[in-house]
A and B are shown apart, each in its own frame.
Chain A
Amino acid sequence: MLRRLVSGKPASIIVCLLAITAIALVAPAQDAAPPTPTDLLIKNAFIMTATHGNISNGSIYIKNGKIAAVGDKVTAPAGTALLDAGGKYVTPGIIDSHSHIALDDDVNEATSPVTPHMMMIDAFDYHDKAIYRGLAGGVTTSMLLHGSANMIGGQAIVIKHKYGLNRDAMLFPGAPRSIKFASGENPKRVYGSRNQLPSTRMGNFEIQREALVQAQDYMREWDIYNAKVKNGDKDAAAPKHDLKLDALADVLRGNLLVQIHCYRSDELLTEMAMAKEFGYKLRAFHHALEAYKVADQLAAANVGIATFADWWGYKEEAWDAIPWNAVLCLRKGVRVAIKSDSDDFARRLNQEAAKTMRYGGATEQEALQMITVNAAWIIGVDDRVGSIDVGKDADLVIWDGYPLSSSAVPNRVFIDGAVYFDRSLPGYGMPQFKEGL
């Protein structure tokens, strides 16, 4: 019993920790082990599934951290813990497909415009309270991307907001690898201000093309070598391993999801043309504030967008941004996510998504999908999270108030079936993290 209550830690360790705390109040709390998920039946909830409409007075049965059943007539084995949601709204955990939290400013290795081998995992500052603040806003999964200083920035990580656990316990297990490309003002400004290439959009794209050509050459060298080895040539010399080109080769082989920071419509088209030229697929354009101008082409190429609801005017390439972008694209068949790109917006993505109901008339479910299942698709984890469907991870938010409004506040947030945030608790409101306050 005690084991279950206190995150699966043996009682003796707890006692020991308490003793240490009593002696030295400043002793830092230890990263917690993942809590053992408790099977749970949430009942009397207004369930917004994000994929198959709403269920009033519904129930969700959570077993082993997964959604085992959802509906208006759900039963659970006798003895299963019960949680009466009191009619509150329940949504899937929010998914942020573009975040730069928890990186301690290590967002850009802005010393070269092509750095595909920069691995975000090496910079993951998992104690950053921004993870907690996003969690308190209902976010359960985020993709941490590189910035846009470089044309090719590096490889992302996907995390679950299990604040209080150790580093690797926060990583989304088995999430596909994503790589961040950029374009437009940022690379040309960063390098142009140093009188380096690129300082124009011409330079931007040439740098990208050049890197991909190098990767093609590199792959060819390896292909020749491998063929020689296969033919029994014992004297064949292996080409030198090059981390950077290995990463780009993975792009060309389709092993990485390509996420491109891109604003202007002409650049969206150029990026799609280049992907076609080199034979790789694009997963999503990020920001994509002019996507509404070329939505047909995006839809035809099955490229998603991760965009802002209404942010605009902060730079020249954001001057044609309109808040109807998301819904205009959606209506053309583009998969649309609303993302934060900000520690601030990450705390209230539900409000940002709700704006699409006003600007263009997204339905409630469409709006919700933009911060759940569509975002999950962009990250490549939509088979695991993003909706309240049987078999998916039990990542859920119980809300105080209607979630798609400006006044809603998460009441409780579950990840893999365990409570990570509970507004009613004192201090930070985190059962898994009790340091300070």
Chain B
Amino acid sequence: MIGALRSSCFALVASSLVMASFAGAQQKPVALRGGKVLTVSHGAIENGVVLFENGKITAVGTASSVQIPKDARIIDATGMTVYPGLIDSETALGLTEISAVDVTNDLVEPSDEIMPHMHVYDAFHAETELIPVTRLNGITNAIVAPASHDTLPGQDSFIQLAGKSPTDYILVRDIAMPLNFTGDQRRTERGEGRKFPSTRMGLAAQMRQAFLDAQDYAQRWSDYEKKKADYDKSKTDAGGTSDKDKKLPPNPPKRDLKLEALLPYLQGKKPVVLAADESSDLQAAVNLAHEFNLKFILNHISHSQSVLDYVASLKVPVIVGPIYEAPKPDERFDAVYSLPAQLYRRGVKIALASYDSHNARNLPYAAGFATGFGLPYEEALKAITLNAAEIWGLSDTLGSLDVGKNANVVVANGDPLDVKTDVKFVFIDGQEIPLTSRQTRLRDEYSGK
């Protein structure tokens, strides 16, 4: 009772803090009028209107075709660009504050490689100073993933960068599970402190065993459920009065959170985000995924240029990059820069990610840079909007300016993918986000404003 009281008090305090920056539900209709509307799903509309009410987009079209309600707040977007909120397909937002200050980091549990029962939402800090900084650049949604030190470091959450209360930031808990196989997960202790797994063989064997254990665990539970059903049935058949009642109900297996966490992935209900850089690692990891019938999305593949046809043949989406990853010494300067274009040309659905937290705000520039190396502009924009929404199974509500979708809308004074562009308005769920951050406050304080 006391505990409940205390936690509700805490919730009140916490939500009132957030309320200061996010007033909650959209109060009245908003019409963004006169801008160039990049719908992402159905081209650009010059002199367009985007209308939203109650947090949802209600109309998108030319100025002459959209009826703006009388009570709407009209924002003149003439000369501006209007586009859907950007989606960053991998960040550590809410898991870190100051990188070098350990106590501010909740990035990964390094004690074991198999940690699928770590849930990002348990550590996610909605009031991080990083989120206002990030959304100032039009990023409204992101995957938050644990750091990649473990093969199975935990489960991602999908967030929006605003909410009435801290929990409202998290749109989808445990949306996917990273499976990292880049070699960096090996234990590096040497000499007497050497520990398993110190090779890729060890990493793979350890994961394989974990998946087998989880399959056994699932089997034990399904055996139990069957026995329990039989038992319940026999009880019901006997009318609950006969001697047969004296037979004891079956004992449930002991719960194992770690193995339990793997089940939705083994059952193909959720995707595994399979990270590899080198083509050899990629193929080893894909084989492992196939062995257990995992549904997967590829991640990084920065040095897999020699197997891009193979990647295309897998018919899975790829979160590619970071495209700023250095080429290997024997690679041409643009070996990684040009990967998004190379994959696109092979028909692969791609998304881009910042793989960052403090610098997640620079996500659109990575997409812009990819256009310098052959990725068509529309595809670059899709890679941080609609493609990402589709990959994460959220394209019903996010990723484009279409009627019925969440009103996550950005207004900027130029090309969304260019460094010079200044974001003028950000709406999340139809609610205007104040364009302030710790950084703007410091700027104003020291520039005499």
Tell me what chain A mostly uses at the interface: helix, strand, loop, or mixed: loop
| Smallest CB separation, B151 vs chain A (Å) | 26
| Smallest CB separation, A10 vs chain B (Å) | 30
Total A residues in contact with B, Cβ cutoff 8 Å: 46
In the bound complex, residues from chain A placing their C-beta under 8 Å from that of B420 are 354-355, 357-358, 404-405
In the bound complex, residues from chain A placing their C-beta under 8 Å from that of B245 are none
In the assembled complex, B373 has its CB within 8 A of some CB on chain A: yes
| Smallest CB separation, B389 vs chain A (Å) | 22
Partner-contacting stretch, out of B92-100, B153-161, B229-237, B302-310: B92-100
In the assembled complex, A72 has its CB within 8 A of some CB on chain B: no
Partner-contacting stretch, out of B273-281, B321-329, B428-436: B321-329
CA distance A91 to B421 in the complex (A): 22
- Whether A351 contacts B419 in the complex (CB less than 8 A), given A314-B358, A400-B372, A409-B373, comes out as yes
| Smallest CB separation, B442 vs chain A (Å) | 5
In the assembled complex, A383 has its CB within 8 A of some CB on chain B: no
From 283 to 318 in chain A, residues with beta carbon under 8 angstroms from any chain B beta carbon are 292-293, 310-316, 318
- Whether A323 contacts B372 in the complex (CB less than 8 A), given A358-B421, A428-B333, comes out as no
| Smallest CB separation, A241 vs chain B (Å) | 40
B99, A313: Cβ atoms closer than 8 Å: yes
From 38 to 60 in chain A, residues with beta carbon under 8 angstroms from any chain B beta carbon are none
A407, B446: Cβ atoms closer than 8 Å: no
In the assembled complex, B368 has its CB within 8 A of some CB on chain A: yes
In the assembled complex, B354 has its CB within 8 A of some CB on chain A: no
| Smallest CB separation, B42 vs chain A (Å) | 24
In the assembled complex, A239 has its CB within 8 A of some CB on chain B: no
In the assembled complex, B443 has its CB within 8 A of some CB on chain A: yes
CA distance A30 to B100 in the complex (A): 43
B369, A351: Cβ atoms closer than 8 Å: yes
B365, A406: Cβ atoms closer than 8 Å: yes
B439, A322: Cβ atoms closer than 8 Å: yes
A313, B358: Cβ atoms closer than 8 Å: yes
From 76 to 124 in chain B, residues with beta carbon under 8 angstroms from any chain A beta carbon are 97-101
CA distance A404 to B359 in the complex (A): 19
B419, A328: Cβ atoms closer than 8 Å: no
B332, A316: Cβ atoms closer than 8 Å: no
In the assembled complex, A264 has its CB within 8 A of some CB on chain B: no
CA distance A377 to B332 in the complex (A): 32
| Smallest CB separation, A148 vs chain B (Å) | 13
B332, A428: Cβ atoms closer than 8 Å: yes
CA distance A354 to B373 in the complex (A): 19
Q: Which of A293, A321, A400, A404 contacts B446 (CB 8 A)?
A: A293
Partner-contacting stretch, out of A129-137, A167-175, A223-231: A129-137
CA distance A351 to B421 in the complex (A): 12
In the assembled complex, A279 has its CB within 8 A of some CB on chain B: no
B332, A310: Cβ atoms closer than 8 Å: no
B326, A351: Cβ atoms closer than 8 Å: no
B443, A315: Cβ atoms closer than 8 Å: no
In the bound complex, residues from chain B placing their C-beta under 8 Å from that of A354 are 418-420
Specify the chain B residue showing the minimal Cβ separation from A309. B419
A320, B442: Cβ atoms closer than 8 Å: yes
- 16 additional A-B pairs beyond A313-B99, A348-B369, beta carbons within 8 Å, are A132-B333, A136-B334, A310-B359, A314-B98, A314-B100, A315-B98, A351-B419, A354-B418, A358-B422, A404-B420, A406-B365, A406-B372, A406-B419, A407-B368, A407-B418, A437-B332
